[in-house]
Amino acid sequence: MPDRLLVLVRHGQSEWNLKNLFTGWRDPDLTPVGIDEAIAAGKRLRAEGYSFNVAFTSNLSRAQKTLDLMLEQMGETNIPIICDEALNERDYGDLSGLNKDEARVKWGEEQVHLWRRSYDVPPPGGESLRDTVARTLPYYVKEILPRVLNGERVLVAAHGNSLRALIMVLEKLSPQGIMKRELATGVPVIYHLNPDSTVAEKLDLAA
């Protein structure tokens, strides 16, 4: 019976996560903590007996490095890796690079909260979560899901909001529900899919 395995992993802590900055499409590296998170995720996947046929990631180095570190721990550095900006983090536009507390001073607590937690209100020059879903979901349907349904074991290392776009569909969450869905850095979320692409089984592989 085909595995129909899909594993999603948010990249390890980045330098800008640590500094409480809006990151978006900017490209900071992982912190030492983020490196450890990625290594630990790979070790947990290996310990649970998971292996993969193909991996997907974004065009941003923090996700790519997380993926490389996980695959190294699993001894799977030779599998195909497909990078695409469709899996990039939500673009925070004019907020990118700003400290979140400084943004609240500039625009007000209520406005920044709206940009961060609403489903369809984008920050200036950036994307709402709805925009991110519109970018990420078609790529998932065209490029990732068919491989899973064909029995390939697929690993995706990406970002909090691009992965929320996939989780929204997989877990059948409403726009309100997906905004409340937390996604920890470096924790594999494992899905086994039914032949109709619905979720048969889900597991968070936390430490």
Residues 95-113: tens digit of each pLDDT: 999 999 999 999 999 999 8
pLDDT at 118: 87
- SS3 sequence, the chain? CCCCEEEEEECCCEHHHHCCECCCCCCCCECHHHHHHHHHHHHHHHHCCCCCCEEEECCCHHHHHHHHHHHHHHCCCCCCEEECHHHCCCCCHHHCCCEHHHHHHHHCHHHHHHHHHCCCCCCCCCCCHHHHHHHHHHHHHHHHHHHHHCCCEEEEEECHHHHHHHHHHHCCCCHHHHHHCCCCCCCCEEEEECCCCCEEEEEECCC
Per-residue pLDDT of the chain (207 residues; tens, 9 = 90+): 468 999 999 999 999 988 999 999 999 999 999 999 999 999 999 999 999 999 999 999 999 999 999 999 999 999 999 999 999 999 999 999 999 999 999 999 999 989 988 899 999 999 999 999 999 999 999 999 999 999 999 999 999 999 999 999 999 999 888 888 889 999 999 999 999 999 999 999 876
pTM score, whole prediction: 0.95
Residues with a known catalytic role:
11, 89
pLDDT at residue 179, rounded to an integer: 81
Quote the pLDDT of residue 185: 94
Q: For the chain, what percent of residues have pLDDT higher than 70?
A: 99
- What the chain holds in terms of domains, given with CATH numbers, is 5-204 (3.40.50.1240)
